[in-house]
Amino acid sequence: MDKEGSLSKAQVIMPTYNRFPITLVKGKGSYVWDDQGNKYLDYTSGIATCNLGHTPEPVKQQVQEQLDSLWHCSNLYHIPSQQQLAEKLVENSCGDQVFFCNSGAEANEAAIKLARRYAQEVKGTNASEVVTFTNSFHGRTLATLAATGQEKIQKGFAPLTPGFRYLPYNDPSVLSTVVSEQTCAVLLELVQGEGGVIPVDQEWLNQLSEICKQNDILLMVDEIQTGMGRTGTLFAYQQYGIEPDVISLAKGLGSGIPIGAIIAKEEAAKAFTPGSHGSTFGGNPLATTAGLATITELVETDVISESAILSDYLVEQMRQLQANHSSIKDIRGRGMLLGIVVEGNAIDYVHKAREHNLLILVAGPQVIRVLPPLTTDRQEVEEFTAIMAKVFEEIEEV
């Protein structure tokens, strides 16, 4: 067909996504609407991105004001909202300095670069290896897919970027092998999201953290999916009694406006000097305005604490579903990052839920991933539970 003719969506967009057969055009709170006027309860939150729900008013107002003043300027100049957002992130974390970028993959790229440069330029070693874990997910750039401990993500992109070693997650027997002469950092998620909604084991994490301290290697926590209140505290690490040297962020940081960041302790941050790293769009006025409005709402209201309470109710409802349906094998996760382990293919449940106007996701072949906005309420939880009861009933009848 020539360019004068009408081209389908599939013909002009590279087929990198298995898209669901709906077109979303509007969102508010916990709901979205498609171009046919159908309303859906959205318990995906844009994959843990719209933590304050769709088009939250506090963020919308600040972004609209910024749109009338300045959208973008170079990082060669001072940007007030960038400074203020960095201050908020530092005030509410164990870190000291912030670097801004545009996405989670870029945040993890920055963390990896910081770790290598810290080892080589600050410590004066030749170490360059970053230890990650099986079933992890850290991004889709060449470096971050190499950091990701999943072969399906890496397939077709050989040769992989060198400098990564994978160990089994939550396995105490491998802790003695974490550090080699080449190791400069450990990178991990405290709840593996894409890998199946698997929380870290507390004692295993304690030992891993201590190993990093004793060997002066950086402990880097990927909070891209777990951060910004998703697991019941602003950052997931705050529930585990550890202090990472580097934290990577994105997703919920900007309420849907693209932004990423790393927060680093002062000693690690020394590795980045003028010219060592950068980003054209990272931390621009529009993105950091969205980020500032988002974190202000999260830390200055009861959104996170209330969502943690509601998460307990949601899990209670899920466990009742489990008691009624043998196809549910387990419920796991933290806060509003939850997984339902099912018999059979998780995607079948996702499709069936969509037929009942509920949007959910998978996290691997047998795990349904449930990601409500932190602002969801008890009535919406009950709506979700009622729909899922129908979903399990209908699938079990087949």
Summarised one tens digit per residue, pLDDT across range 64-77 is: 999 999 999 999 99
DSSP assignments along 229-286, one per residue: TTTSSSSGGGGTT---SEEEE-GGGGTTS--EEEEE-HHHHTT--TTSS--SSTT-HH
- Asked whether residue 207 carries a pLDDT value surpassing 70, the answer given is yes
- Asked if residue 1 is part of any domain, the answer here is no
Report the C-alpha dihedral over residues 303, 305, 308, 309, rounded to 10 degrees. -110
Q: How far is CA 49 from CA 93, 157, 258, in A?
A: 20, 27, 10
Does residue 108 sit in the same domain as residue 230?
yes
Does residue 172 sit in the same domain as residue 279?
yes
Does residue 76 sit in the same domain as residue 181?
yes
Last residue of a domain, one of 300, 335, 355: 300
Last residue of a domain, one of 254, 275, 300: 300
3-state DSSP call for residue 159? coil
Summarised one tens digit per residue, pLDDT across range 148-199 is: 999 999 999 999 999 999 999 999 999 999 999 999 999 999 999 999 999 9
Does residue 122 sit in the same domain as residue 257?
yes
**Residue 224 — left, alpha, or beta (φ > 0 → left; ψ -120 to 50 → alpha)?**
alpha
User: Which CATH number characterizes residue 373's domain?
Assistant: 3.90.1150.10
Does residue 150 sit in the same domain as residue 184?
yes
Domain with 257 in it: 57-300
Summarised one tens digit per residue, pLDDT across range 44-54 is: 999 999 999 99
Say if CB 117 and CB 284 are below 8 A apart. Answer: no
Does residue 198 sit in the same domain as residue 321?
no
The enclosing H or E element of 143 equals helix 142-147
- Asked if residue 4 is part of any domain, the answer here is no
How high is the pLDDT of residue 1?
43
Does residue 116 sit in the same domain as residue 26?
no
- Asked if residue 51 is part of any domain, the answer here is yes
Summarised one tens digit per residue, pLDDT across range 108-117 is: 999 999 999 9
Does residue 94 sit in the same domain as residue 232?
yes
Does residue 92 sit in the same domain as residue 16?
no
Angle at 221 between CA 216 and CA 227, to 5 degrees: 150
- Asked if residue 68 is part of any domain, the answer here is yes
Contacts of 179 (CB under 8 A, 6+ apart): 211, 215, 217
Does residue 243 sit in the same domain as residue 347?
no
Centroid of chain to Cα 204: 22
User: Which CATH number characterizes residue 147's domain?
Assistant: 3.40.640.10
Residue whose C-alpha is closest to residue 190's, from 144, 239, 143: 239
Structure tokens at 377: 């309420």
- This prediction has a pTM of 0.95
Does residue 64 sit in the same domain as residue 39?
no
How high is the pLDDT of residue 10?
56
Does residue 248 sit in the same domain as residue 274?
yes
- Count up the domains in the chain and report the number: 2
Structure tokens at 288: 């950091």
Residue whose C-alpha is closest to residue 123's, from 206, 209, 183, 187: 183
Model confidence band, residue 28 (pLDDT cutoffs 50, 70, 90): very high
Last residue of a domain, one of 251, 273, 300: 300
